[in-house]
A and B are shown apart, each in its own frame.
Chain A
Amino acid sequence: MSEESKPGWKSIPMAGVLLEPGSAMKYKTGDWRAFRPIIDEEKCINCLLCWIYCPDGAVIREEKKVSINYEYCKGCGICANECPVKAITMVEEKR
């Protein structure tokens, strides 16, 4: 949205309050990422440490493995650091 198309002070809720719960979902933080975590499914033992440690809840827990939600993953690398079998590598983003 351009600055002009955003609502002005007369029409926004008071004091910067957000009236709609869960609106952080609308803020896609994936484009902050400089390094992308890549999971080697062969090595992954599905221990879920990455799922526990991810500060953004961007690790998706599936039936027998985990995957990354790249719409929100900021590329902090905590998952790769915590992985006990080194199944996650951080690869530089090329945009």
Chain B
Amino acid sequence: MSKILGLTGDGAVAYAVKQCNVDVVAAYPITPQTLIVEEFSEYVHNGEVHTEFVCVESEHSAMSACVGASLTGARVFTATASQGLALMHEILYIASSLRCPIVMGVVNRTLSAPINIHCDHSDMMGSRDCGWIQIYVENAQEAYDWVLQAFRIAEDPDVLLPVTVNLDAFILSHSLEGVKVLDDAEVEKFVSTRKPVLRVDPDKPITVGALCLTDFFFETKRQHVEAMNNSPKTISRVNNEFAELTGRRYDFIETFGMDDAEAAIICLGSTAGTAKAVAKSMRSKGKKVGVIKPWVYRPFPAEQIVKAIENLKALAVLDRACSIGAPYGPLCSDTIATLYREGIKLGVFNVIYGLGGRDMTPFDIETVFNETLEVAKTGVVKEPLKFVGVRE
């Protein structure tokens, strides 16, 4: 039996974590922390969970404590945002390289300077090569649903990689929505308990994190790559089980109108919701537009994107992060690399938008769609990289 609760994006994540029998949460409790751990700490205070809540002095320590806890075989969660994620950067690599299946809620906010607390994807994109599985959600429901699935994916013996569930700051984190939640017992059955493959155990000592130089380091990285390569199988399996349980079907990407679309937008997170609404309205006027929303950003869903763009003529890739000095933003670089590898010729341009929380309005999106339709018609990309919503 599912019920509907009024939850913010942060609240939805905290509620999911509460239901997942998490053993340890280590988090830095003040700015730039989110309501996720604030709400979760209330569950701890009220005795609603058995979780050991470790209040640490920085995000660097938060992730370090998570790594230590995870190595003992515990189920571990933490959450952070922007500068906090940046401060964790060093330990993110250690968590994934030591194959700690930690789940982390990342409320995507920009990085300073100037100081700004609002949404863009600069924080996660700055750490995108940290070897974690990375999920982006569109709304609070998806945040709740993906957190439940994230523990299953992370802890699968074929994967054993940490997972971030990314949600847009304020747009999702602080906005109240009706979220369908499962009963505790249903979640317990779905996520079960972690069954560690290898763990720090005084009765069976192992050494973790030892010096590993030129003779073996490369081999451990190759294993890490293979773990990521194995993850799609697990992600699909978990998606299927989740769909059976809830009727809500997740995948690597969500598509809208892509069967006959000539022009499409691909984007991450909450913007996809606006894009779908605009596409729906434009389609009712006979314009063949579509939307691709990757839920899974790492591993990059190349195969699924290629399938979705089969009949497409032009694509606008929306990046809410800037890779300054690079030819394109991160999502566009990945998309174009995929198209090139598959030998697909398509009119593609990159739109950088929404930095520091600047709104991406339906009007902006309609403009981008119209430009994409123009590219579909003429086959000419006039501006490969453009900024939408910035004052000249």
Contacts and interface: CB of A to CB of B under 8 A. Distances in A.
Interface of A: 3, 6-9, 12-19, 21, 23
B54 to A, nearest CB: 23
For the residues of B in contact with A, the DSSP-based class is loop
Contact of A15 (B215, B218, B220): B220
A42 B291 CA distance: 86
A17 B198 contact: yes
Interface in B198-231: 198, 205-210, 212, 215-220, 222-224, 226
Nearest to A1: B215
Contacts of B209: 16
A9 B220 contact: yes
Contacts of A21: 205-207
A12 B197 CA distance: 15
Nearest to B205: A21
A72 to B, nearest CB: 15
A15 B223 contact: yes
B161 to A, nearest CB: 11
A16 B217 contact: yes
Contacts of B55: none
Given A14-B99, A14-B223, A17-B198, 11 more contacts: A3-B215, A6-B215, A7-B219, A8-B219, A9-B226, A13-B198, A15-B224, A16-B210, A16-B212, A17-B206, A18-B206
Contacts of A7: 219
Nearest to A13: B198
Given A6-B215, A9-B220, A12-B219, A17 B197 contact: no
A16 B206 contact: no
Contacts of B160: 14
Most buried by B among A9, A12, A19: A9
Given A14-B99, A16-B212, A23 B223 contact: no
Given A14-B160, A15-B98, A9 B219 contact: yes
A17 B208 contact: yes
Interface of B: 97-99, 160, 197-198, 205-210, 212, 215-220, 222-224, 226
Most buried by B among A14, A15, A18: A15
Contacts of A13: 198
A17 B224 CA distance: 13
B217 to A, nearest CB: 7
B220 A12 contact: yes
Contacts of A16: 97, 209-210, 212, 216-217, 220
A14 B222 CA distance: 11
25 contacts: A3-B215, A6-B215, A6-B216, A7-B219, A9-B220, A9-B226, A12-B219, A12-B223, A14-B160, A14-B197, A14-B223, A15-B97, A15-B99, A15-B198, A15-B224, A16-B209, A16-B210, A16-B212, A16-B217, A16-B220, A17-B206, A19-B206, A21-B205, A21-B207, A23-B207
Contacts of B222: 9
Contact of A9 (B197, B208, B223): B223
Nearest to B220: A16
A21 B204 CA distance: 9
B157 to A, nearest CB: 10
A14 B198 contact: yes
Nearest to B197: A14
Q: What 9 pairs across the A-B complex have the smallest Cβ distances? A: A18-B207, A9-B219, A9-B222, A21-B205, A16-B212, A16-B220, A15-B99, A15-B98, A9-B223
